[in-house]
C-alpha cells in the first residue's frame, strides 16, 4: 500500500503544479480580471492530496484502496469546480449549476470516510 500512497502523492503533486500554472497563465490572459477561485484552485489538491498523503506516509497509516480512489475523486471534483467557478467569474457571468461541484465533492469526502472502516475494523461502522 505504501507504493500506492507514493503514487497518489506524486499525481497530486503534479495536479497541484498544473493547477497553479494553469491559474497563473489564465490570469495573465484575462485582461486584469481576477478570480480567487482560479488563483487558489491549486490549494485543494495541495491540502487534500499532497499534505494528507504526506502525513499518512509519515505516520505509517495506510487507508484502503477504496478510500484513496474516492478521496482522489473528491479532490478532482472540487478542483475542477474551482476552475469552472473561476472561469465564470472572469468571464463575468454566473451559473446556478456550479453548486453541483461542492455538493458532489462533500458527498465524496463523506463516502470516503465510510470506506475507512476497512482500516479500523473495530469501529461502530464495522460489519458484525
**73 occurs within a structural domain:** yes
Question: Which domain does 94 fall in, by range?
Answer: 2-118
* Within-domain flag for 128: no
**Residue 126 is assigned to a structural domain of this protein:** no
Question: Is residue 35 situated within a structural domain?
Answer: yes
**Residue matched to cell numbers 502523492:** 9
Query: Mean pLDDT over residues 118-122, rounded?
Result: 58
pTM of the shown model:
0.86
Sorting pLDDT into bands at 50, 70 and 90, what band is 1?
confident
**pLDDT for residue 127 is more than 80:** no
Provide the number of structural domains found in the chain: 1
pLDDT tens, residue by residue, 7-50: 999 999 999 999 999 999 988 888 888 899 999 999 999 999 99
Amino acid at each position: 500500500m505504501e507504493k500506492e500512497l507514493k503514487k497518489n502523492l506524486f499525481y497530486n503533486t503534479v495536479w497541484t503544479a498544473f493547477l497553479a500554472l494553469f491559474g497563473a497563465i489564465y490570469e495573465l490572459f484575462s485582461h486584469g480580471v481576477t478570480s480567487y477561485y482560479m488563483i487558489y484552485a491549486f490549494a485543494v489538491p495541495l491540502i487534500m492530496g499532497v499534505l494528507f498523503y504526506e502525513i499518512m506516509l509519515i505516520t505509517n497509516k495506510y487507508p484502503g484502496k477504496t478510500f484513496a480512489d474516492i478521496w482522489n475523486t473528491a479532490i478532482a471534483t472540487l478542483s475542477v469546480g474551482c476552475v469552472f467557478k473561476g472561469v465564470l467569474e472572469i468571464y463575468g457571468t454566473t451559473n446556478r449549476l456550479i453548486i453541483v461541484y461542492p455538493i458532489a465533492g462533500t458527498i465524496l469526502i463523506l463516502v470516503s470516510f465510510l470506506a475507512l472502516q476497512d482500516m479500523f475494523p473495530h469501529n461502530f461502522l464495522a460489519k458484525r
